[in-house]
Amino acid sequence: MSIKTATAFSIATGTALAVATGCILAFGIATPAGATAQFAKETGKSCGACHTNPQGAGPLTPFGEKFKANGNKLP
């Protein structure tokens, strides 16, 4: 194997390893969302009932805090 080929192989291997490590870290750190559209369908509550953002993200509303304190059950 020539030096050029060995260097290209090392760079490609290093890049693939870096990408794989990044993916593993991203998926390992990510946590699943607690709220789902299914919850909204089952309860008739919108995401904005528990979250300050009507789309369902961000800090909780007072109702959302009660829901959380009640073991994720409707108060």
Residues 42-59, mean pLDDT to the nearest whole number: 84
Count of C-beta atoms within a 10 Å radius of residue 50: 23
Answer whether residue 4 shows pLDDT above 60.
Answer: yes
- In this prediction the pTM is 0.47
C-alpha 64/C-alpha 74 separation (Å) is 9
Count of C-beta atoms within a 10 Å radius of residue 35: 17
Tokens of 31: 């946590």
Q: What is the pLDDT of residues 12-48, one digit of tens each?
A: 677 777 776 765 766 666 555 555 667 777 788 888 8
